[in-house]
């Protein structure tokens, strides 16, 4: 019980750090490189997504592009600009406004909406019920997307598509003695922490009330998921090659699997 309490207290502290939008401004723009330099601000991290907002006056503004922080230095936050496809409308004229110095930048956009990938309903319920300041998007919605795409094994693009369609900013993954939170679009780890919480029961591909996920005939993601932790750790490690923590976690898992396989071959 004390382990569960520790997890909930830590989880609340963790998400309180990153679920509030952070406001700053564009410092300079490189249209050729499709990048911007943003004024430094406390709480910003590499991998965070945000949006550039151009204000016409006190009452009118428009979102120009997404930004992803790629580096942090004493000069500011380096970020690449990415198009906002959700604003596309072929029946209406599109604006030609470009990002410029002084435009507002909102980092951690939609970080108040989160998807939790949990190994069982008990863990899911305890985490979400004890952190009600976040809007938890139920994993059943994600499962529906997976079934439509024929992916019983979730791919990174499945997460990103679901997050774009449902305005989700964060995804949290629960592992045995570990909790990781990522930006859903960049798939970069924003927070990670070892805990004393042990997972004794696992539902595949994750906790969901949807009984059956449709499968494609072939292709990546078309096979049912067979292992919870090894798959999601590998998925995160693939998208975070410079994150020492997740890479070490993956290495430990692989060594454990090799040891188990060697032992089993003798008995």
Whether the CB-CB separation of 46 and 38 falls below 8 Å is answered with no
pLDDT tens digits, one per residue of 99-136: 999 999 999 989 999 999 999 998 898 878 877 888 99
Grade residue 88 by pLDDT with cuts at 50, 70 and 90: low
Tokens 């992803």, located at residue = 68
User: Domains in the chain and their CATH numbers?
Assistant: 2-15+111-261 (3.40.50), 21-107 (2.40.30)
Please give the Cα distance from 63 to 248 (Å, whole number).
39
pLDDT, average across residues 53-74: 93
Grade residue 151 by pLDDT with cuts at 50, 70 and 90: very high
52 pLDDT higher than 90: yes
- Among the listed residues 22, 164, 15, the one whose alpha carbon sits nearest the alpha carbon of residue 85: 164
HEC string of the chain? Answer: CHHHHHHHHHHHHHHHHHCCCEEEEEEEEECCCCEEEECCCCCCCCCCEEEEEEECCCCCEEEEEEEEEEEEECCEEEEEEECCHHHCCCCCCCCCCCCCCCCEEEECCCCCEEEEECCCHHHHHHHHHCCCCCEECCHHHHHHHHHHHCCCCCCHHHHHHHHHHHCCCEEEEEECCEEEEEECCCCCEEEEEECCCCCCCCCCCCCCCCCCCCCCCCCCCCCCCCCHHHHHHHHHHHHCCCCHHHHHHHHHHHHHHHHHHHHHCCC
Grade residue 237 by pLDDT with cuts at 50, 70 and 90: very high
The percent of residues above 90 in pLDDT, for the chain, comes to 65
Please give the Cα distance from 148 to 216 (Å, whole number).
9
């Amino acid at each position: 019980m004390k382990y569960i309490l520790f997890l909930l207290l830590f989880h609340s502290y963790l998400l309180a750090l990153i679920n509030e939008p952070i406001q700053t401004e564009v410092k300079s723009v490189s249209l050729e490189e499709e990048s911007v330099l943003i004024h430094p601000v406390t709480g910003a991290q590499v991998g965070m997504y945000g949006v550039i907002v151009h204000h016409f006056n006190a009452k009118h503004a428009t979102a120009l592009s997404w930004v992803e922080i790629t580096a942090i230095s004493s000069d500011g936050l380096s970020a690449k600009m990415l198009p906002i496809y959700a604003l596309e409308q072929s029946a209406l004229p599109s604006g030609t406004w470009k990002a410029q110095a002084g435009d507002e930048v909102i980092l951690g956009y939609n970080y108040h909406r989160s998807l939790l990938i949990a190994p069982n309903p008990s863990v899911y319920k305890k985490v979400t019920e004890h952190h009600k300041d976040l809007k938890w998007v139920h994993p059943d919605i994600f499962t529906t997307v997976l079934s439509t795409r024929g992916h019983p094994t979730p791919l990174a693009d499945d997460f990103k598509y679901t997050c774009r369609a449902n305005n989700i900013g964060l995804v949290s993954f629960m592992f045995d003695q570990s909790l990781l939170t990522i930006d859903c679009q960049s798939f970069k780890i924003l927070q990670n922490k070892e805990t004393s919480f042990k997972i004794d029961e696992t539902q595949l591909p994750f906790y969901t009330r949807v009984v059956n996920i449709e499968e494609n005939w072939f292709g990546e993601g078309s096979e049912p998921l067979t292992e919870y932790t090894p798959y999601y750790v590998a998925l995160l490690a693939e998208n975070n090659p410079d994150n020492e923590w997740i890479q070490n976690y993956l290495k430990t898992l692989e060594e454990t699997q090799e040891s188990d396989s060697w032992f089993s071959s003798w008995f």
